[in-house]
Chain A
């Protein structure tokens, strides 16, 4: 059993990613959120490295996945680099065992990558043919699209929804997730 630590901006994000990865790897992986109840900006503060070190030493995960939202498109190099710098700093604390997932804009980009599953769950008929790498504010997009429907999208639905999203469709349509997943399987030395 490989133990994987999770650090993210929101429990919805970490649980959603866990649920998505468990779809593809239902056995052999054990996940634990290492730092709870911290939002994105709170992950930047000075106490985090010390807290992470304590949790890492105690749980002893093989690897730790760090999930951050870019809140911008891939063209915002400065923002992306800032997140990479944050990751590099924390990665030192955990002996370089970190794997970084930067969601382009937000986690919801992955939902747009498999809009058919979303439509099924929300009884909607949203058509989405764009490249998710270039979608600004995907969360707001989904909220607006379901504003007048019986079931409105809420980010708290993500953990359940991510149990049903089609993994292979997401890999095909969300380049940033494909890149992360390739890195994930090669680092963990597991089969795709």
Chain B
């Protein structure tokens, strides 16, 4: 079952690290990529996050290279399936810093899958405006789906914790002026959950503070602490943390500092702290495995839909907790596309015999190749699962990857 209504179906990429004429196909929901070290798994996830997910305009950053790619998206709406194909192709090599539109061709086609397949002529878009040069109802339809794709939340959960300073590692500050303009003190882009939490806090703050509280410093501080700790996002996170980790609760440090006058409010000393074994403690006191669990869970919960790219979620996680984490990810994959690279047999064992088409095998044969299981492999895998034990037995002791 899938409720997710937009997902990446196929990516073709040429000339990005080990990805040369490399094609990969995905399903909605959960996808698991296995393969030896150096096969190109991380390169593919990296590529998707940096260039293919959300916004092909990011390809502007590919200046100086000659990477070309195409993305095929599947979009479900009211029972109809639309397939949107986007191609970004460098038509002229350049070493200029600024890339002009003329150096790329951006083409989009759409086909309505459940009706008779309608292949439309490629529609050229103006890259700077993202408007079709010819305005027709079909072009408008492409643009609508494209905009949904562009706005979809994508998170990249790497095998390392984010290095940038954030609420966890360093106290943060929020500045809100009377116009409602907010400035965020630090760079949070690699910690989407915290960024979204902060935006929620700011919206709540702006909407909910009565004037009489604004004039009293103690009341204001208490009010803000209560507001911060009652956001829906934090409540949802805490519910999941309790189920899947040893963290009983998390909260914003109550010892915040608030400075407020008619023009501006500054909230300082914002950090998250964690309740473990009935003691509140800072991020630095958490074990590496608990930090990693928090990272994987919170980033996956950043939004209710979207695309999650995840490298080796098993790292540092106890096998029983990994089983629980897999359950969590499977549940989340009902409304998100989750693409995981892994070396963990346990993760592979999470798949049912009906889900074997969600496994992708990566190989490096002078270039990265990504293949789904063949019909013969699926049949053999099902036999292993029924008669010998788990799918991982086939992976570890037979020829699944050869």
Q: If the complex has contacts A155-B331, A156-B328, A156-B331, are A36 and B320 also in contact, measured as CB distance less than 8 A?
A: yes
- What residues on B are CB-neighbors of A150 within 8 Å? 232
Measured CB to CB, the closest approach of chain A to B224, in angstroms, equals 22
B385 contacts A45, C-beta separation under 8 Å: yes
Contact status A47-B320, CB under 8 Å: no
Given A37-B320, A140-B1, A147-B3: A42 and B390 within 8 A (CB)? yes
Q: How far is the CB of A81 from chain B (nearest CB, A)?
A: 18
Residue B323 lies at the interface, judged by CB distance under 8 Å to chain A: yes
A156 nearest in chain B by CB position: B243
Complex CA–CA separation, A39 to B385 (angstroms): 12
Please report which residues of chain B, range 40-85, place their CB below 8 angstroms from some CB of chain A when the two chains form the complex.
Answer: none
**A108-152 near B? 1/0 per residue, CB < 8 Å:** 000000000000000000000000000001001001100100100
Chain A CB within 8 A of B353 CB = yes
The residue on B at minimum CB distance from A152 is B304
Q: Are B388 and A45 in contact (CB under 8 A)?
A: yes
Q: Known contacts A143-B3, A154-B331, A156-B243; is A45 also within 8 Å of B390 by CB?
A: yes
Which of chain B's residues has its CB closest to A39's CB? B352
In contact, B350 and A39 (Cβ under 8 angstroms): yes
Proximity string of chain B (182-221) to chain A, C-beta cutoff 8 Å, 1 when within and 0 when not: 0000000000000000000000000000000000000000
Q: Does A179 contact B (CB under 8 A)?
A: no
Cα-based distance from A62 to B386 in the complex (angstroms): 29
A45's contact among B319, B324, B387, by CB below 8 Å, is which? B387
Say how far B218's CB is from chain A's closest CB, in angstroms: 31
Q: How far is the CB of B64 from chain A (nearest CB, A)?
A: 45
Contact B1 A156 (CB under 8 A): no
User: Is B38 interfacial (CB 8 A cutoff)?
Assistant: no
* A47 partner, pick from B324, B331, B389, beta carbons under 8 A: B389
Query: How close is B71's CB to chain A, nearest CB, in angstroms?
Result: 27
State the Cβ distance, A153 to closest chain B Cβ, in Å: 11
Q: Tell me which residues across on chain A come within 8 A of B401, comparing CB atoms.
A: none
- A46 pairs with B327, CB closer than 8 A: no
Shortest CB-to-CB span from A106 to chain B, Å, is 12
Residue numbers in B under 8 Å from A11 (CB-CB):
324
* Minimal beta-carbon separation of A171 from chain B (angstroms): 28
Q: Is B334 an interface residue (CB 8 A)?
A: yes
Complex Cα distance, B328 from A137, in Å, reads: 20
CB distance from A164 to the nearest CB of B (A): 16
B215-259: contact bitstring with A at CB < 8 Å (1 yes, 0 no)?
000000000000000001000000000010000000000000000
Residues of B within 8 A of A140 (CB): 1
Contact assessment for A143 and B323 in the assembled complex, using a CB-CB cutoff below 8 Å: no
| Chain A: CB-nearest residue to B355 | A41
Chain B hits for A85, CB < 8 A: none
Contact B388 A46 (CB under 8 A): yes
Q: A143-B3, A156-B328 are in contact. Are A41 and B352 (CB under 8 A)?
A: yes
Closest Cβ of chain B to A154, distance in Å, is 6
A residues in contact with B324, CB < 8 Å: 11
Q: B293-344: which have CB < 8 Å to A?
A: 319-320, 323-324, 327-328, 331, 334
The interface residues of chain B lying within 8 Å CB-to-CB of A137 are 1
Q: Does A92 touch B at the CB level, under 8 Å?
A: no
Interface 1/0s, chain A 14-42, versus B by CB < 8 A?
A: 00000000000000000000001101111
Chain B positions within 8 Å of A154 at CB level: 331
Contact residues in B for A44 (Cβ distance below 8 Å) = 386
B357 interface residue per 8 A CB criterion = no
Bound-state Cα–Cα, A42 to B388, Å: 10
Contacts of A39 in B (CB 8 A): 350, 352
Chain A residues with CB under 8 A of B352: 39-41
The minimal Cβ–Cβ distance linking A21 to chain B, given in whole angstroms, is 21
Considering the chains assembled together, what is the distance between the CA atoms of A7 and B212 in angstroms? 59
- Return the chain A residue nearest B350 by Cβ: A39
Task: Name the A residues within 8 Å of B386 (CB-CB).
Answer: 44-45
Chain A residues whose C-beta falls within 8 Å of the C-beta of B268 in the assembled complex: none
* Contact between A46 and B243, CB atoms less than 8 A apart: no
B79 to chain A: closest CB distance in Å?
Answer: 14
Given contacts A45-B385, A137-B1, 5 further A-B contacts (CB under 8 A): A41-B352, A45-B386, A45-B387, A156-B243, A156-B328
Q: Which A residues are within 8 Å of any B CB, using their own CB?
A: 10-11, 36-37, 39-42, 44-47, 137, 140, 143-144, 147, 150, 154-156
Could you give 25 example pairs across A and B, Cβ below 8 Å? Answer: A10-B327, A11-B324, A37-B319, A39-B350, A39-B352, A40-B352, A41-B352, A41-B385, A42-B385, A44-B386, A45-B388, A45-B390, A46-B387, A46-B388, A46-B389, A137-B1, A140-B1, A143-B3, A143-B334, A144-B3, A154-B331, A156-B243, A156-B327, A156-B328, A156-B331
